[in-house]
Amino acid sequence: MQPSRPAKPASRGVAIRDLKRFTGVWQERYQSHIDPVGTWFTDKTRVQVMRRRELTFENFDCAKVHRYQATGELHGKRQITGRWDETATGANAGGTFHLYADPFGRWLYGVCTGHSEKEMI
């Protein structure tokens, strides 16, 4: 009689190679949620794989008022959802985000929502 083997967990359809295609440094462009509202900012974000299905984002090379960290989960091969928090000294803002990857993997685009000390973002 053979010893029993634990059942393999069901695959959720995401391979590590699907996550790794997002790793590296990305240039990002977004509109400000603080005065002057709507001002466009450009900076860089470092994306890393932390756990199976999970990516972390941290921007750098940016204005001091727009520092954030985020953690997201890949759904399928092209959607990432998660939570972000502002990390600037004294900041009290955070929320959720939803990103889509274009089919060729060159662009991520999406939306974020959340709150700050003064208003909804």
Residue 63 has pLDDT above 70, yes or no: no
2 occurs within a structural domain = no
Cα distance between residue 19 and residue 17, in whole Å: 5
Q: What is the pLDDT of residues 8-58, one digit of tens each?
A: 433 455 667 778 888 999 988 888 766 677 788 888 999 999 877 799 999
Q: What pLDDT does 14 receive?
A: 63
Q: What pLDDT does 11 receive?
A: 42
pLDDT tier at 2, thresholds 50, 70, 90: very low
Q: What is the CA radius of gyration of the chain?
A: 17
5 occurs within a structural domain = no
Task: List strand residue ranges (DSSP E) for 17-107, in order.
Answer: 24-31, 40-51, 54-60, 68-75, 79-86, 94-101
- Enclosing domain of residue 108: 16-115
Q: How many domains does the chain have?
A: 1
pLDDT > 90 in the chain, percent = 25
99 occurs within a structural domain = yes
Q: What pLDDT does 25 receive?
A: 93
Per the prediction, the chain carries an average pLDDT of: 79
User: Tokens representing 91?
Assistant: 């900041």
71 occurs within a structural domain = yes
120 occurs within a structural domain = no
10 occurs within a structural domain = no
45 occurs within a structural domain = yes
pLDDT, average across residues 90-112: 87
Cα distance between residue 96 and residue 74, in whole Å: 14
Residue 65 has pLDDT above 80, yes or no: no
| Strand, helix or coil for residue 15 | coil
55 occurs within a structural domain = yes
The phi and psi torsions of 104 (rounded to 5 degrees) equal -95, -5
